[in-house]
Structure 1
Amino acid sequence: MAYLVGDVSSTARCFPLMDGKPVAIARSSGPYVWDESGKRYIDTVLGFGGTILGHAPDAVIQAASTALLTNPLPAVNHPSEELAAAALAQRTGNLNKVIFTNSGSEAVHLACRVARVATGKRRIVKIAAGFDGWLDGVAFGNVGSAEARFKPGQRPSNGYVTVIRYNDFNDVEQVFSEFDDIAAVLVEPMLANAACIPSVDGYLAHLQKTVRQNGALLICDEVLMGFRLHAGLTSHLYGIDPDLVSVGKAIGSGIAVSAVVGKAEYMKVAEEGRALRGGTFSGNPIACAAVLATMPALEKADYLALQAHGNILRESIIESFAKHGRTVCTSGYGNVFSIWFSETPPKTYDEGLALVNNELSLALHMHLRREGILIMPSPYGRMYISFAHDAAVVAEMQVAFERVAELMSRAVVGVGA
């Protein structure tokens, strides 16, 4: 009898069987993971972006271990919580008030609550196919859902959340003409969970301008993209000035921690007790130790080299498949990107839906798994590259992709489960 529901607590971690067996990772270090049989994989899942320094970085593990041994869970305030908040806020500009949470879903939920209380309005507008957590309300309109795809003149809504189309300038203005109770618009700087669809030129600026003109707040969900392109917020790198931002994943380098960072004028509703916040484990010493160790490491990290390694890999993947008669392209950035079996990547979710090929995406996953590279099995999956993926690791990946491109050029696409 199996006691764990569906064999895993998060459905995102449910990978397909191979030779009748699941993949179960027993150990991880740097760019690698090892399964229970001892087989090594180059990992591009990387905790779904949560291990930007690579698995188990020494400084982070040592800091978290010290906290675990000395002060794992006090019931009251502890010194490292303010220190961790300061370390984070020093890198988030005018969003200099911090509330720690345990997961990205909690951070998004709390940001929405703060926005609703601060504005006195109820409705949250989110991007169709954006993944802003699995909690009720913002799960509405997630990638793959029926409500994420809709025609002009339609407006999916559940009374709490209303969705708009990504990269659609007119839809931004249209939604504000339809509703007068919009507290905030929630957007990812890149539509990552729909397979890394970047914003088109001017879209985010137009979104911000329209939001401000209508008395709403702009919430950027950077649980995935925060600290991924530089040691700070991707929003600020794009010249956007959000009011609230959810961050997570990279800020703890594999240790569970997320946060809401926001402007003081809005975050005061939580400080004054008007927006409820809580959580026994929120801001715990282990999480704060991880943040304190991660922030200086990211400050010193060579993001240009990281992007270069990823871009070399992206170009190599395209060339390998072209050499063997199959066209692929990529979308995203050097250290987080998706592979499309098409000539050009989509600019909208609807375009992406038309390009999705479940059979080819699964075949790619299975072939690479046999070659010792672990990628997400979904057509909406992403490949992450960490600072531990050096030139030698990238070269090894290039060789594996070359072999897989050749295999997938043959008549039989799949490799079986």
Structure 2
Amino acid sequence: MTRNQTLADRARQVMPGGVSHELRYRAPHPIYIDHALGAEKWDVEGKRYIDFKLGAASQILGNSCPEVMQAVAEQLTKTPYTGDCHALEIEWAEWIARLYPSADLVRFTGSGTESTMLALRLGRAWSGKDKVLRIDGHFHGWHDMLIKGAKPGTNTAPSLGVPTAITDLTVVAPPSVDAIAALLDQDDDIGTIFVEASGANYGSVPLPDGFLSGIRDLATTRGKVLIFDEVITGFRWAPGGRQARDGVTPDITTLAKVVTGGLPGGAICGRRDIMELLDPGKPRDGLAPPVSHKGTFNAAPMVAAGAIAAMKLLSTGDVQKQADAMAARLRDGINACFTNRGMAAVAYGDSSTCHLYFGGSSIDGLTAAQIRTVPPALVNGLRNGLLERGVDFMSFTSCVTSSAHTPELVDEAIEIFDETLGELTEAGVIAP
């Protein structure tokens, strides 16, 4: 029995399904990573993988970034956490305020999910309206309030245990400004609009041209609170995220992953008048603060230290340029594989992402449900085939790159991808 199998057997005795995150589940067992560096990682059996998962898109600087590692190590000699205010959280917030157009004020959270929870609470408090409009297929964390509509093409929550009293407060809309305007006309109880700034699932379903500016104008004219989920686009699309790159500023922004330097945690930032609802020194309606928010590990010193080190690297834009170039090289190489094999498939993506669609040479005009409906045999075949050959994608049809990726690593991955396509074609999983 291999070490990966042994660990999987142990894990199943103490954790549901043997995993701590449902997307880490894999039959017959997951791989267990021992260490990682740059754009590579090694499992407990010593097998090496070219990493395009990168900590669920958190490691744009590459795994084990030396500057981040050193900053965290130095902070650990002082204290990882005491539950008090500290100077590092101020410096970290100053970096975000400097780089992000929407960041008049910043509040730190424990994760991306917590960031979207807090942003929604602020949206409801400011608007005085309970309902939130979200876009079909966009992902905003696993909590009850925004999970309805996360599975594209559905108007329900993709989980048991979510009360209808909660989901009734969520309105799911297509990515169309006109359709959203019509829904706002029909329901005056909608006060907040939530948008994944990349389009569904970090751009696997891109937003229509002009959507972000259109929804900004609509939110302004209708008096709605506009929230951009930049948990993945934040600091990846540009030092100031998608909003800085495209010149569209929301009222509130949710952040995690890259904002922490790839460490656990998150943040929100936004308009001063809305964010001041979190200020305990400015009571309203007998409440101080008007909007309550706690969190034991918010801006923990060891996370703040690593994040500051990351901000110094991310602020120049060089990190993003390198990651973008490597993603473009990967997309071009995969598309060449498809062309050479005569396959009706396409690799596409924005910034440092790469998404795959099997079923045509373009995704134009397709819905989120159409793009993300993939036969299980292809899902498992592609995922397992790549892993067996030493390439790890973030999901079966999507991945990201980092500044640590090199042309040599990307080209090696393209060769492995082509080998996997050949195997799946021979097995009849993909039509030749």
Length-normalised TM-score, structure 2: 0.88
> Which residue number in structure 2 is paired with residue 275 of structure 1?
291
Of 293, 300, 305, 2:322 maps to: 305
Secondary structure of 1:105's counterpart equals helix
Q: Match of 2:71, SS?
A: helix
User: In structure 2, do the counterparts of structure 1 residues 191 and 339 end up closer, same or farther at CA, with 3 Å as the change threshold?
Assistant: same
CA RMSD of aligned residues (A): 2.1
Tell me how far apart the structure 2 counterparts of residues 262 and 47 of structure 1 sit (CA, whole Å).
26
Once the two structures are superposed, residues 317-336 of structure 1 have per-residue CA deviations (whole angstroms, 9 ceiling, x without a partner) of: 01112212322212322411
Q: 1:212 to 1:142 in 2, by over 3 A?
A: same
Within 2, Cα distance between the matches of 1:385 and 1:129? 23
Distance (Å, rounded) in 2 between the aligned partners of 1:310 and 1:373: 15
1:224 aligned onto 2:232: yes
Pairs within 5 Å for 1:248-287: 248-271=256-279, 272=282, 273-287=289-303
Task: Answer yes or no: is the 8 Å Cα contact 2:60–2:258 preserved in 1.
Answer: yes
Q: What is the distance in 1 between the residues matched to 2:24 and 2:372?
A: 25
Write the mapping of 1:21-36 to structure 2, written as runs, cut at 5 A. 21-36=29-44
Which residue does the alignment assign to 1:77? 85
**What are the ranges of 5 or more consecutive residues in structure 1 without an aligned counterpart?**
150-155
> What code does the residue aligned with 1:352 have?
Q
Match of 1:184 among 184, 192, 197: 192
Cα deviation, 1:83-129, whole Å, max 9, x if unaligned, reads 11101111002422100011100001101111111122211111111
* C-alpha displacement of 1:144: 4.9
SS of structure 1 residue aligned to 2:331: helix
User: Which of residues 304, 319, 335 in structure 2 aligns to 1:288?
Assistant: 304
Q: Which secondary structure state, in structure 2, belongs to the residue aligned with residue 230 of structure 1?
A: coil
Determine whether 1:4 maps to 2:25: no
Deviations 1:268-322 (Å, cap 9, x if unpaired)?
1111311111101011101111210111111232433322221111011011122
Q: 1:190 to 1:365 in 2, by over 3 A?
A: same
**Contact conserved, 2:54 with 2:62, CA < 8 A, in 1?**
yes
Q: Identify the match of residue 160 of structure 1 among 150, 161, 169.
A: 169
Which of residues 375, 380, 383 in structure 2 aligns to 1:357?
375
1:214 corresponds to: 222
Contact 2:132–2:193 (CA under 8 A) maintained in structure 1: yes
Q: Counterpart of 1:41 in 2: which secondary structure?
A: strand
- Asked if the contact 1:365–1:376 (Cα under 8 Å) also holds between the matched residues in 2, the reply is no
> CA deviation digits over 1:215-264, x for unaligned, max 9?
11110000011111211121221221100000111112321121001111
Rounded to whole Å, the distance in 1 between the matches of 2:116 and 2:132 is 11
Q: Which residue of 1 aligns with 2:417?
A: 401
Q: Distance in 2 between matches of 1:228 and 1:145?
A: 28
* Paired residue type of 1:410: E
Residues 17-416 of structure 1: pairs in structure 2 closer than 5 A: 17=27, 20-144=28-152, 146-147=154-155, 158-166=167-175, 168-193=176-201, 196-271=204-279, 272=282, 273-300=289-316, 301-341=318-358, 342-350=360-368, 352-353=370-371, 356-378=374-396, 381-413=397-429
**Structure 1 SS opposite 2:172:** strand
* Closer, same or farther: CA 22–316 of 1 in aligned 2, 3 Å: same
Deviation at 1:210, TM superposition (A): 1.2
Q: Percent identity?
A: 27
* Alpha carbons of structure 1 residues 275 and 70: separation in structure 2 relative to 1, 3 Å: same
For residue 295 of structure 1, give the secondary structure of its aligned residue in structure 2. Answer: helix
How far residue 52 of structure 1 moved from its aligned partner, in angstroms, is: 0.5
Is the contact made by 1:330 and 1:340 (CA closer than 8 Å) also made in structure 2? yes
8 A Cα contact 1:196 1:332, kept in partner: yes
Amino acid at match of 2:338: F
Query: Structure 1 pair 145/134, CA: closer, same or farther in 2 (3 Å)?
Result: farther
Q: Give the count of matched residue pairs.
A: 402
CA distance in 1, matches of 2:42, 2:169: 43
Moved over 4 A (4+): none
